[in-house]
Each structure stands twice: as structure tokens, then as C-alpha cells.
Amino acid sequence: MGAGTKLTLALSVLVLAGLAAGWTLSAPDPHDEADVAALPEGDAAAGERIFWAGGCASCHAAPQASGDAMLQLAGGVELESEFGTFVAPNISTDPEHGIGGWTAGDFANAVRRGVSPDGRHYYPAFPYTSYSRMSDQDVADLFAFMQTLPAVATDAPAHRVSFPFSVRRGIGLWKRLYLNDDPQVQLAGASEEALRGQYLVEALGHCGECHTPRAITGGLETDRWLGGRPNITPAGDIAAWSETDIAYYLESGFTPDFDSAGGRMASVVRNMARLPAEDRAAIAAYLKAVPGVESVAAAGDEAAD
């Protein structure tokens, strides 16, 4: 065997080994059977609170839905990004078009691991990188509540995603970088109220998905946690707001300057207004306890000076 042939074979082996390693590392990682079996029985009444805190209707109800229509989870909201346009699916109780045929384990795998019942990766436009921090009880309660909602027998439009982002297997490698259940910030000496707010913000409310800058890979730049645009850290756009101001804004949509929430934030406020006052107060306490992050725009202005 000549030297050239040996080199070709060696390179071929390396390529095949690399492909095999990539295939293994990118595999979906659902909960194991013991974790699924340990899920508690869900409480539908408690799950309604989780439903609104998690903002489920904001993406999965029809665009501009209000009132009872917010509980008809036919999907259809479009989320545009540099990776393509993602469309929220039907998650109603319809067994053919929605999730009516799912088990609690299927639901837990989707919400916390981003894995479908048939073993595919979900795109992280579905904020499972935040929901991964949800407790077993809250997952079970949310699933129980969603089983009480009406079935909608329609399909949402498909995602519009081009190659290479249309290859879902690659999401498995992305998850190895960004999917975990660790706290986003350490709150040394924080009050119980702020710690409750941390769970509401970092897990259920997934506030960082919009308020934290993203790397070129689409993952959150957690060293600038909540320091996006708007910057909602104590050094950012709401620095002058009191905890009372924040809690009132989450209930009413009105800022201390008598402006009002618009865009997607208006939908968030509609959800937060349905929560108990103590939840909004806890969120406010957390937002005052997180490390301040200088706004990128402010840093740029200083550099220009």
C-alpha cells in the first residue's frame, strides 16, 4: 500500500470518527424513565398560575387574541430571527393537531429538554433553555391545567428556516453549550422574596430570552444578564424605578413617566396582571437585586466622547 493510499485511509477514518462523535454528541437527551416516573400528580388549579407566568398564551394563542380566545392554543405567532422565522405550534388538547395525545413525560421532555415525543430537537425559539429550571411540581401542574383547555383542530404554519439551520440535529451541539438548570446569577444574601422572583424571572417568565444580549450563535451572553435593550438591571433603563414602580408596571403597563407598554411587552403585562400581587412584587425585588449591567448604548456613547 502506497503512502498516498495510507494517508487517504487515515483521513477517511478521522472524518468518519468525527462524524460519529458529532452524531453522538448531538443526540437528543430526554429525561430518563426514573425522572419521568417521579413526576408528581398535577394540580390544574395551581397550573393556571404557571400558565400565565410562563407566557404560554403569548406565543400559542392566535395573534392579538384576548379574553377566552387566549386559551385556544392553536399557535401561529411568528418569531423572526437571523436564523429564520419560527412559528409557534398548536399546543391545544387536540390529539392530532396539538398535544392531546402526550403524556406528562412527553410534556416534561419538551418543556425542560427541548425534545419532542418522537425524539427530535425543538428549536430554541421555544424557550426551554429557561424552562429547564422549572420544578417537577410546576411542570406537572402546568400540564394538568393545559389538559382542561379546548381542542383546536388546525395546524399552525411550518417554520421557514433555511439550510444549515433546517438540520435540527445540530441543535444538540448547541444545547451542550446553553441548556442547563443552573441559576443565571448568584444572589448572595438575597431575601426570600427576591429568590422567589429569581425563579419567576429566570425560569417561568423567561425574561432573559428577550432582555439579555445574544452571541452570534444565538445563545444568551449571560455575563450581561438582563442587560439588553431595554436593559432591566439596576444600572439600566429602569434604574430610577422603585420596586413599587416595577410591580405596578407589570400589573398595569404604565411606567412612572406615564408611558405604556407596547409591542410584545404588552402581551407580557397581560399575563403578569393575572398573577397574584406577591408574584409581581417578587419579580420587582429580584430585578433590584441582580448585578447592574452597563447598557451597550451608554458604553458606546462614552467611547465616542
> Could you read off the pLDDT of 144-192 as tens digits, one per residue?
999 999 999 999 999 999 998 899 999 999 999 999 999 999 998 899 9
Q: Does 305 score more than 60 pLDDT?
A: no
7 is a domain residue: no
Same domain (yes/no): 39, 169? yes
Q: Is 79 helix (H, G, I), strand (E, B) or coil?
A: strand
**Each residue of 241-289: pLDDT tens digit?**
999 999 999 999 999 998 999 888 999 999 999 999 999 999 999 999 9
The last residue of one of the domains, among 162, 182, 202, is 182
20 is a domain residue: no
Same domain (yes/no): 84, 112? yes
The last residue of one of the domains, among 149, 182, 215, is 182
Position 205 scores a pLDDT of 97
86 is a domain residue: yes
Q: Which domain holds residue 240?
A: 185-296
Position 8 scores a pLDDT of 64
The last residue of one of the domains, among 148, 163, 182, is 182
Tally of structural domains, the chain = 2
72 is a domain residue: yes
For residues 255 and 238, what is the distance between their CA atoms, to the nearest angstrom? 10
Q: Cα–Cα distances in Å, from 86 out to 91, 159, 199?
A: 15, 5, 26
11 is a domain residue: no
For residues 85 and 104, what is the distance between their CA atoms, to the nearest angstrom? 29
Cell numbers for 196, please give them.
422567589
Same domain (yes/no): 67, 35? yes
Q: pTM for the full model?
A: 0.89
Same domain (yes/no): 257, 139? no
Same domain (yes/no): 159, 220? no
Same domain (yes/no): 155, 276? no
Instruction: Report the CATH number at residue 216.
Output: 1.10.760
For residues 250 and 281, what is the distance between their CA atoms, to the nearest angstrom? 9
Same domain (yes/no): 54, 160? yes
Same domain (yes/no): 44, 150? yes
22 is a domain residue: no
251 is a domain residue: yes
Same domain (yes/no): 164, 243? no
Position 297 scores a pLDDT of 61
Q: How confident is the model at residue 302 (pLDDT cuts 50, 70, 90)?
A: very low
Position 114 scores a pLDDT of 97
Same domain (yes/no): 126, 235? no
For residues 83 and 162, what is the distance between their CA atoms, to the nearest angstrom? 8
13 is a domain residue: no
